[in-house]
């Protein structure tokens, strides 16, 4: 019965996810649902850091396990600027995500400018520099 619940969201989201990655990338089969959780700032002397945190659920819709250590999460603003992970729930980036399974956790992105607050979308990437 759970499969029926996910069919429409998977069909809707899979087209945009598949267009973002090469066909050979295992992350083609991962759906990311990101809900903004908080915004914060940290100051020390003259330095300020801004952070935006998301609650994340990732789902493997493929037929094979996905090695989470070979992918990362990136947040994007409307202009397409990418922000790299600053803090992340370890279970989202370690081990394998079995076929037709999901994981929930959090991820935080930070920058020295408050522009990070404008991020709206979190995506899986295999380019984790």
d(CA 68, CA 73) in angstroms, rounded, equals 10
**Cα three-residue angle 7-125-103, rounded to 5 degrees:** 50
Bridge partner list, 35: 55
The answer to whether 57 touches 73, Cβ cutoff 8 Å, is no
C-alpha 48: how far from chain center? 24
Q: Which DSSP string do the residues of 42-67 spell out, in sequence order? A: EEETTEEEEEEEEEEEEEE-SSS-EE
Residue 103 has pLDDT above 80, yes or no: yes
| pTM score, whole prediction | 0.76
Confidence of residue 127 (pLDDT cuts 50, 70, 90): confident
d(CA 109, CA 116) in angstroms, rounded, equals 7
pLDDT at 26: 54
Q: Which domains does the chain have, with CATH numbers?
A: 2-125 (2.60.40.4110)
């Amino acid at each position: 019965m759970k499969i029926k619940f996910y069919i429409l969201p998977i069909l809707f989201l899979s087209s945009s996810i598949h267009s973002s990655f090469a066909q050979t990338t295992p992350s083609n089969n991962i759906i990311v649902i990101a809900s903004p959780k908080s915004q914060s700032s940290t100051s020390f002397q003259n330095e300020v850091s801004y952070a935006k945190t998301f609650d994340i659920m990732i789902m493997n819709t493929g037929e094979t396990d996905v090695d989470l250590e070979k992918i990362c999460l990136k947040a994007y603003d409307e202009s397409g600027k990418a922000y790299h992970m600053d803090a992340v729930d370890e279970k989202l980036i370690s081990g394998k995500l079995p076929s037709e399974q999901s994981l929930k956790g959090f991820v935080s992105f930070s920058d020295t400018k408050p522009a990070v607050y404008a991020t709206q979308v979190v995506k899986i990437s295999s380019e984790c520099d």
